[in-house]
Structures are given as structure tokens and as C-alpha cells.
Amino acid sequence: MPETRENRQAERRQRILAAALELFTRQGYERTSTRQIAQAAGVAEGSIFNHFPSKKDLLVAVMAQIVDGYFGADLAAPKADTLDLLRETFRSRLEMGFAHAERVRFLLGELLTNQEMRQSYFEAVILRLTDRVERLLQQRIAEGLVRPCNVQVVAGALVGAFLTFLLVAVLDEERRLLHHSLDEISDELAHLFLDGLRPQEE
């Protein structure tokens, strides 16, 4: 099938994002120029601004891509058992977090030092991710797989838990808190969210 203009643009945009992620992670946002990104991506510097209005918008897109990598389409994949869905979501995301800890540290550094970036990140990433989880919860409530609840509150709690636990995971480099296997950690977290800490009835 012949390559279309849209495909070429999408491929160029992806190269820019990949180059920006690599350079931002290695050098930091402030020390990385759009000229460096363009050179690494093999595009003209002006091409960056055809896809992203500013360097800040490029950073937000990079952040969104990182989060999408952790919480992709499979988060909403239909599964018969809610416990299995939660367990696998935690396990796979923690596994990716350990494998790409430097990216998460980069995100944390930018968010802690740049108030404007925090707001942009919240709107472009957190709200979008929370909306995705809300829709998943609504679907599972309609199917009778989850009890009726305030989906906005629960979605916010789940997203917060995912991101906070991922932060703990990448900061705990010596595994002093997280010395258990990913399967054991994920199983415990899934039961915590689904069942709470209430003793099981006999």
C-alpha cells in the first residue's frame, strides 16, 4: 500500500517524540533545544513546530506518550474478572515502571519544578487518563461486575494509586519497601482496591 501524506506526517511526529523523550530524559528539558531534537529526529527544526506549537507543548506530548505507554488501550480490554483486570494492570505497569525508571524520574523532576508544566500535564494526561478509567468503571457497573459507585472519585483514586505507587517503585532503588515479587505486589494491590481491608466473611 503506498505511503500517504498522513502516514508520513504521523511517522515524522513519532520520530520527533522519540528524539525529544531521549534527549529530555538524558539532558533535562531546559538543556535540550529544539535544534538538538530536530537533528536527532532527522527533520528540519521547523518541522517540530508543524506538529507542536511550542517546546512546552512538545514536552506535554512526550509526557502523555509515557503515560499512554503505562495505561494503554489494554487497560479497557474486556475481561471477565475485575480482580484479574486490576491485578494485571498493576503488574504490567509496575514492570514497565521498573524498566523505564529514568523516564519517570524525568517526569517527576519537571513536574516538581515547573508550575505551568504541572497544570498542562494535569489537563493533557491526568484528566484524560481519569476519563478513560471512568468509562471502564461505568461499563463494568452496567455489566454488574462492579458495585455502583461514584465513578469520578473511584477513578481519581485508582489513577492516583497507579501513579503514586509507580513513583514509590522508581524511588525505591534498593528495593527496601518493594522487595516482594511483582506478582505478589500486584495481587495485594488488586485485592486492596476490590475488597478493601475488611475481613472476608466465612
> DSSP secondary structure string, 26-80?
HH-STT--HHHHHHHHTS-HHHHHHH-SSHHHHHHHHHHHHHHHHS-GGGG---S
**CATH number of the 1-52 domain:** 1.10.10.60
* Structure confidence at residue 1 as a pLDDT band (50, 70, 90): very low
pLDDT in tens, 61-99: 887 777 666 655 555 555 558 888 888 878 877 777 777
Instruction: List the helix and strand counts (H, then E) for the chain.
Output: 10, 0
- Residue 142 confidence (pLDDT) above 70: yes
CATH 1.10.10.60 domain extents, the chain = 1-52
Looking at the chain, the domain(s) classified CATH 1.10.357.10 span: 55-195
Q: Which CATH architecture has domain 55-195?
A: Orthogonal Bundle (1.10)
Cβ neighbours of residue 87 under 8 Å, at least 6 residues apart? 186, 187, 189, 190
Residues 34-66: tens digit of each pLDDT: 999 999 999 999 999 999 999 988 988 887 777
pTM: 0.68
